[in-house]
Structure 1
Amino acid sequence: MRKTSRVGVTGHLNLTPPTVELVRADLRQLLRPPLVGVTCLARGADTVFAEVVLAVGGALEVVLPCEGYGDTMVRPEHRPRFEALLEAAATVRVMPFRRPGRQAYEAANRHILHTCDLLIAVWDGQRTGHRGGTGAFVAEARAAGLPVDVRWPAGAAREST
């Protein structure tokens, strides 16, 4: 019997609709049970990852950066998917913060970093200099010795901000 892999995710929030489908197809080819997918359940890459984890028969662990995260930080158009995935999660961990902020997000990222066997980064490779961005998390994971698998399918793009 194969050991259960713990796979975390980081990635862009602003994937174009065609990119969502490219990433979904890519992750369906990559992810195989037994696995636990660990995600903060942000819109974009995290949500696609969570849906694929469940679709392939994996277990979902959600790491929320703070209390009330869903009520304060989830956009109304994303709320139905967020709530459905939260309900489907085998485990929900809430970081010990009352409000969202840099420390809360960094704590959630550290949890993923220190509890996973692999980090999947749905990332175009562009560094923004943003301390909490995907590029920064990838660099932190690599510095800690966590294997990182960068996924950016041909034709993928981000929505302009």
Structure 2
Amino acid sequence: MTIVGFTGHQSLSAPTVGLVVSALRAELAEVGEPLVGICSLAVGADQLFAREVLRCRGSLRVVVPSAGYRTTFADDDRPEYDRLLARAQQHRVLAYPTPSEEAYLAAGHAIVDSSDVLLAVWDGAPAAGLGGTGDIVAYARARGIETRVVWPVGAGRV
């Protein structure tokens, strides 16, 4: 069993979504079975990853950064978060009372600490806030976790 952790940008341009999905499919096909994916289900790349793990018949684990995390999603985004969370084989809520950058950083660390390999949909830029994709990639690399960056040619952020 290989546990694949995930981190990635939330704001991807429309053309980038298709590019990223194709790249994630290729990466996950290399992992083999049984596949376990772990992420926080943030809008954007996290949810693309979660859907691909499930499409590959893998099992999904979710690290929820805090109590009230669901309230950070726009009304239109909550149904997909709820649907994916309901399909997770397991999930745990970290002991942060409210969403915060510290909670997001702790969630990213928990994902890395539980993973054999980290996939990152990352443009290579530093994190915009504490716990962003760049921070999680740096943490994984410092811990010696194999990190595979997915940023297809032509990809862009909104």
Answer whether TM exceeds 0.5 for this pair: yes
Q: Specify the alignment match of 1:18 in structure 2.
A: 15
2:40 touches 2:63 (CA, 8 Å); kept in 1? yes
Q: Specify the alignment match of 1:39 in structure 2.
A: 39
Post-superposition CA distance 1:30-68 (Å, at most 9, x none)? 214311100000011100000000001100001101112
Percent sequence identity over aligned pairs: 46
Q: Matched residues in 2 for 1:130 and 1:23: separation?
A: 22
Alignment of 1:66-105 (within 5 A): 66-70=66-70, 72-105=71-104
- Taking only aligned residues, the RMSD between alpha carbons, in angstroms, comes to 1.2
Q: Specify the alignment match of 1:135 in structure 2.
A: 134
Residue 52 of structure 1: SS of its match in structure 2? helix
Alignment of 1:99-114 (within 5 A): 99-114=98-113
Q: TM-score, normalised by structure 2?
A: 0.93
* Alignment pair present for 1:58 and 2:74: no
Q: Matched residues in 1 for 2:106 and 2:118: separation?
A: 16
Number of positions where the alignment pairs a residue of Structure 1 with one of Structure 2? 155
Displacement of 1:128 in angstroms is 4.3
2:39 touches 2:50 (CA, 8 Å); kept in 1? yes
Paired letter, 1:19: T
Post-superposition CA distance 1:54-110 (Å, at most 9, x none)? 00110000110111211x211112112111101111001100111111221122112
Q: Matched residues in 2 for 1:64 and 1:109: separation?
A: 10
Q: Specify the alignment match of 1:49 in structure 2.
A: 49
Residue 51 of structure 2: SS of its match in structure 1? helix
* Alignment pair present for 1:9 and 2:6: yes
Q: TM-score, normalised by structure 1?
A: 0.91
Q: Structure 1: which 5+ runs fail to align?
A: none
Displacement of 1:129 in angstroms is 5.5
Paired letter, 1:6: I
Displacement of 1:123 in angstroms is 0.6
